[in-house]
Amino acid sequence: MEAPLIDPFNRPISYLRVSVTDRCDFRCVYCMAENMTFLPKRELLTLEELDRMCSAFIRLGVRKLRVTGGEPLVRKGIMTFFHAMSRHLASGALDELTLTTNGSQLKRFAGELASAGVRRVNVSLDTLDAEKFARVTRWGRLNQVLEGIDAAQEAGLKIKINTVALKGFNEDELFTLTEWCASRGMDLTFIEVMPMGEMEEQERIGQYWALTDLRARLEERYRLTDLAESTGGPARYVRVEETGQKIGFITPLTHNFCESCNRVRMTCTGELYMCLGQEDRADLRKPLRDHPDDDSALEAAIRRAIMRKPKGHDFDYSRQRVRGQVSRHMSHTGG
């Protein structure tokens, strides 16, 4: 391995989240517009280019690779990419290959994902009510997702549920979701809605449910024990003593989680975002395509980009204003 990636604040970069498509079979209201204009396919990195790109990051010290979208499993031929990445697991260069999914395609692909070395999957699920699910996803069918979770667990995959806390939408399901996850042996992470995409300011503020309030409600029923563990990422974890499950809280608004950030995000077009909450990005597609037989220019571009990684983001909902808002949709950057 070459010299590892270290950002200007002495944080090692060991985690890459890579979007393989901006397309999705859902249209979640906090993630994308209902009538999205998707990128022309020629702008997307090919599966072979994604392999080269991710392999370069792994040579530079990335130990965890998370595949995202859009919905990653709607990308044609995507299992070819997962199987290609499994060679880095076999060599020991990569510790973990995983993905975040809406669960719609898990029934089709759970077995293949397991055979490619995937051991854990994050499934985005905000409600267990079929009508509300159809409303928040616009196009989704809850039963399809639940069948996908069943298939994934049958294939031996460990499932974590990611739930966006939405005021006035899933507040009444807090205990239902918690107990359903516990009954299935699944951990659960709650996420504050982030100011991303083209939304009316008051609409976004209206969705915002502070996790400090959510946690206080949980503590009315359960004993929560803070855990010291950290993945270097945004979540802070507790153990629910009554169920033994782990619950995470991702709080970009009520707690700035940037001090230990070890990750960067790459879009399906090869743009590297050094911070989810900033607009600065680096074009890695150009050095990749300009030098098809030599990765030295690509690696140099990656190193230059990491030296631009900021100390933290500026998300803020204080004073009823959406500060630090970024214009791109979450589906563009990757979940």
Among residues 207, 317, 310, which one has the least CA distance to residue 252? 317
For the chain, how many residues are written? Answer: 335
- Tell me how far apart the alpha carbons of residues 50 and 163 are, in angstroms, rounded to a whole number: 28
30 a known binding residue? yes
87 a known binding residue? no
- Tell me how far apart the alpha carbons of residues 215 and 56 are, in angstroms, rounded to a whole number: 40
Q: What are the distances in angstroms from CA 276 to CA 1, 300, 309?
A: 27, 22, 10
223 a known binding residue? no
Strand partners, 250: 191, 235
119 a known binding residue? no
268 a known binding residue? no
208 a known binding residue? no
**Contacting residues for 173 by C-beta, under 8 A, at least 6 apart:** 127, 128, 129
> Does residue 163 contact residue 132 with C-beta atoms inside 8 Å?
no
66 a known binding residue? yes
103 a known binding residue? no
Contacts within 8 Å (CB) and 24+ apart, 285-289:
285/45, 285/49, 288/45, 288/49, 288/52, 288/53, 289/49
Task: Name the amino acid, one letter, at 129.
Answer: D
17 a known binding residue? yes
Q: Could you tell me the end-to-end alpha-carbon distance of the chain, in angstroms, rounded to an integer? A: 28
160 a known binding residue? yes
193 a known binding residue? no
The 10 Å CB-count burial string (b at 16+, else e) for 5-32 is bebeeebebbbbbbbbbbbbbbbbbbbb
Residue corresponding to tokens 């965890």 = 64
269 a known binding residue? no
- Please enumerate, by residue number, every residue annotated as part of a binding site for [4Fe-4S] cluster: 24, 28, 31, 258, 261, 275
- Please enumerate, by residue number, every residue annotated as part of a binding site: 17, 24, 28, 30-31, 66, 70, 100, 124, 160, 194, 258, 261, 263-265, 275
- Please enumerate, by residue number, every residue annotated as part of a binding site for GTP: 17, 66, 100, 160, 263-265
- Please enumerate, by residue number, every residue annotated as part of a binding site for S-adenosyl-L-methionine: 30, 70, 124, 194
